[in-house]
Amino acid sequence: MPIPLISHGITEGLSAIPHAYTAIKWAAVVAVVALLKYYFGGARNTSERLMHSKVVMITGGTSGIGSSIVHDLASRGAQIILLTQHAPSDLFLVDYIEDLRQTTNNQLIYAEQVDLRSLHSVRKFATKWVDNAPPRRLDMIILCANTLKPSRFGAPKLTGDGLDEEWQVNYLANFHLLSILSPAIRAQPPDRDVRIIFASCSSYIGATIDLKRSEGVITTTNTKSTTTTHAKSKAGAKKKPKQKQNAASMYGITKLALMIFAKSFQKHLSSYKRPDDRPMNARVLIVDPGYTRTPGTRRWITGGSLWGLLLYLLTWPVWWLILKAPEQGAQSFLYAAMEARYGRGGENGSNGGWYIKECREMETLRKEVDDEEVAKQLWEFSEEQIQVKEKESAKRRALEKAKEEEEKKGGSTATSTATNSGNNKARAAGTKKSRK
C-alpha cells in the first residue's frame, strides 16, 4: 500500500494523495518533538559493571532519581541499604521494599532509619555501623537525599537541632555521616573498589558561601572565604552589614559546600597510610544529574501552592519536554558507579574528586571547590557546629527523659496513694462488720 501511494505521488504530485500535506506537517512536528525530547533527555550510560555481592548504601533512595538508581543497581544484583527517615516497620517502606524485591528479583534490599534532620539519628546509625569487628563490607555510598523550599521567598524551616533544614539535610548530615563512617571506608580491603558519590546541582555556580543561617552563629565574610565560629559569637564579634540575599540561595550554598567537602574528603582518604602499605582504594565522585522532574523540582516549580500546581498541570507538556525523567537523571549516577576508569585500578590513578555531568568528566566552574583554605575553614566550622548542636540535643534529651521519669514517678505515687486509701477504707468497713 505505501509503495503505490509513493509512486502515485511522484508521478501525479502530492496533491493527488488525500491529506498528504497534513500528514507531512504532523510528521515534521512529531520528528521535532522527538528530537527535542532526545536532546533534553541527556546522555545515556553505556558502562557495565558486575554488581553482584556489592554493598551499596544510599540516601534518598525512595523517590525521584534515587529510586531509579536503586532499581537499576538492585536489578544488577547489588545489595541495597536504604537510609530513610521512616522506621523499617513503616507500611509505605515495607510495601516499597517488597515491590522492589519482586520487580528486581533481588531479596537483598533493606532499610535503616536515619533521619538527616537529626544529627543524633545520623550518629546513632553510623556508630552502630562502625562498631563492628571485622569491618562490614561497604562498596559504595550514594548521597541523593535532598530538600528544597517550595517558595523562593518563603521563611527557612528549622530542624529539631535549630538549623536551616536545607543546610542540615543537603550538607551537614552528609558531612556528619561520612566523618563517622570514614574508618569503615578506610578499613576496606585494598582489592575492593570503593566509591562515594555526591549529588550536586548547577545552582552551586551562582552561590556565595554564607553560613549565617545557622542559629547562634556570627559570620565574618571576606572576598575569599567565610569564617564562622561560636567563639566569636560569645566574644561579641562585630557583625558586618547584612547583604540582601535571595531566599533560595541557601540551596546553592549547600551544593557549593557539599562539593568543597567532597574534594577535601577525597584528600582526607588519600592521605591515610594503610597498614599494608597499599594505596587508598576509595574514590569520591560528584555528579550533576541535570534538570529532572523529581518531586522536589515539582514542589519548587509549583511554589507549594494549589494555584502553582494548577499552572504546572496546565503547562505539563512543556516540563515533560525540557525536564528529564528520573530514569534519565539517574544515568550520570550509574555512569559514576560503573565506569571502570574511576575504579581502584583505573587509568586516572588515585586522584579522585571527579565532577561528572552528562556521563562525562567536566571541570568545576568555581575555584572555591579546589581551594584548600576554604575547605579547611568549612571543615572546622562543620565540626564545631555539629559539636555544639549535639551537646544542645543531648541536654534536651536528658531533660525530656528526666521529665518523663518524674511524670511516671508522680503517676505511680498517685496510684499507690489511691490504692492505700482504698485498702484503708476496706479495712475500716471490715472492722465494723466484725464488731456487729
Task: Report, as residue numbers or ranges, the catalytic residues.
Answer: 255
As beta bridge partners, residue 141 has: 57, 196
Residues 373, 378, 381: CA angle, nearest 5 degrees: 125
Q: Name every residue whose Cβ is closer than 8 Å to that of residue 127 and which is 6 or more positions away in sequence.
A: 180
Give, in order, the Cα–Cα distances in Å from 35 to each of 13, 135, 137, 431.
29, 50, 44, 99
d(C-alpha 249, C-alpha 368), whole Å: 17
Residues 405, 416, 398: CA angle, nearest 5 degrees: 5
d(C-alpha 221, C-alpha 393), whole Å: 28
d(C-alpha 119, C-alpha 126), whole Å: 11
Residues in the chain: 436
d(C-alpha 152, C-alpha 193), whole Å: 41
d(C-alpha 100, C-alpha 71), whole Å: 7
As beta bridge partners, residue 411 has: none
d(C-alpha 137, C-alpha 53), whole Å: 10
What angle do the packed helices 249-270 and 173-186 form, to 10 degrees? 20
Which burial class, exposed, middle or buried, applies to 417 when counting CB atoms under 10 A from its CB (0-12, 13-18, 19+)?
Answer: exposed
